[in-house]
Amino acid sequence: MSLDRNCGGETMNSLSQLISSCACRSRNRHGERRLFAFKSLRSYRTCLRELRTAGYRPHKQLDEQGIFSLTIDKRRSLREIARHTGIRYVEKDVKARAHSLRRKTPSIRASGNTGRAPWNIQQVQAPLVWPLTRGSGIRLAVLDTGIAAHPDLKIAGGINTINGRSYRDDNGHGTHVAGIAAGTGFKRLKGMAPRISLYAVKVLDESGSGYVSDIVEGIDWCIRNRVQVMNLSLGLPPGEDSQALREAVRRALRHGIVIISSAGNEGKSAESLDAPARYAGVLAVAASTKKGKIAGFSSRGSGLACAAPGLNIRSTWLRGGYKTMSGTSMAAPHAAGGAALLLARMPRLLPHQISRAFGISAKKLGFNVRAQGAGLLQTADALMRARAAANRVVQRPGSQGQACRQLIRKPFGGRNRPTPTLFIQQGKR
């Protein structure tokens, strides 16, 4: 390791010298990744060039934003760098982690198609929308540990922002999340929107953790590739925040991308939702149970949009298998898939309109808003609410909810099955 002991000294007259005086050329126990955001791209490029000449290689370069990540000796003060006229901010390149619970459950292999959706998909009314659309034409990205090849998943493309290699899943979490949002049912498991275009954006490593800089790069990739829905079943550790991540979320929202994020797994002890779930414009999702309760592990806090099943959810896994997992990670893709279904029928919906449709149609579970948000996601009701709002239809109070209850009373066969005329008159997409 080479380290200049005069970090922040008065003799340093260039920004690159200030930064290099605090930087580490090799790994050491005092090293910590920091993000340096520049006010101008010219200053950013100049500093990068001078750092390379001095032998320092940033871990990550976000060239469009003028930000790079570099390992700094955390014993050194960065106050002078942060006050430099060429710097917007300096912050930790925080590590995020997946929002699943660490419970050992075996992976299973299953053969044969069951012909029906899992209980969790039924509970949020996705099958009621399928006669009208299954999400065809909508691009949904799962920002996670990647997605593995699986007979119940059809991957349209993706990227690995960690090292530029394969976006294939080496953990399992991302594959599980993808199955909930987009399981095709070709072999066994149907997800919320079986015909969407699914993209794997690998921002978390094999341990289920990843740096903010990798997540920001993934979000910017989604913007460039015109993704319409992003699922982030991840969060920063409690108490941590990131301006770089917050700015990336704002950029995505300005481009009309619907952002779904898991609330966190800190339960009632949580002081707030994890980031990015607590950011303005993000649809934060809590975890509910099969019996219609809020899971004990689901983080409480202001800003929740709704709840969705997150306890004992079976979905796709590595090597073509299936696994049961729990966490708000499992709840979020229900909402992501639901948003994709709404967009497939109403492509001009904006993120705040989808959030509103989810909110006014949600089923109350008897918990306060800090635990359940508006309540349990009801996709079919949300679509009707969105269509009614778009058509400026004034209906008798309660009429839509009553119609939906009639539709879902016996949704999977039987002589008394109601005909969902609202959803079949325009054909299937």
Task: Answer yes or no: are the C-beta atoms of 194 and 135 closer than 8 Å.
Answer: yes
Which residues touch 429 (CB under 8 Å, ≥6 apart)? 132, 133, 134, 135, 136, 137, 195, 344, 345
69 is catalytic: no
In angstroms, what CA-CA distances link 174 with 100, 134, 210, 231, 316? 10, 21, 13, 10, 9
Amino acid at 165: R
For 248-303, where are the E strands, in sequence order? 258-262, 283-288
User: Kind of pairing, strands 155-160 and 197-202?
Assistant: parallel
How many CB atoms are located within 10 Å of the residue 370 CB?
18
30 is catalytic: no
Task: Answer yes or no: are the C-beta atoms of 139 and 179 closer than 8 Å.
Answer: no
The separation between the first and the last C-alpha atoms of the chain, rounded to the nearest angstrom, is: 59
d(CA 59, CA 33) in angstroms, rounded, equals: 8
User: Kind of pairing, strands 304-309 and 283-288?
Assistant: parallel
How many CB atoms are located within 10 Å of the residue 90 CB?
18
The SS3 of residue 250 is: helix
Q: In this structure, what token pair is assigned to residue 420?
A: 């969902």
Of 150, 173, 176, 334, catalytic: 173
Backbone angles phi and psi of 298, in degrees to 5: -70, 130
329 is catalytic: yes
Of 69, 73, 84, 144, catalytic: 144
Task: Give the total residue count for the chain.
Answer: 429
Of 69, 329, 355, 361, catalytic: 329
d(CA 92, CA 178) in angstroms, rounded, equals: 29
d(CA 186, CA 265) in angstroms, rounded, equals: 32
State the angle between helix axes of 328-345 and 351-361 in degrees (0 to 180), rounded to the nearest 10: 110
Give which of 236, 372, 385 is closest to 305, Cα–Cα: 372
Q: In this structure, what token pair is assigned to residue 111?
A: 């053969």
Catalytic residues, by residue number, are: 144, 173, 329
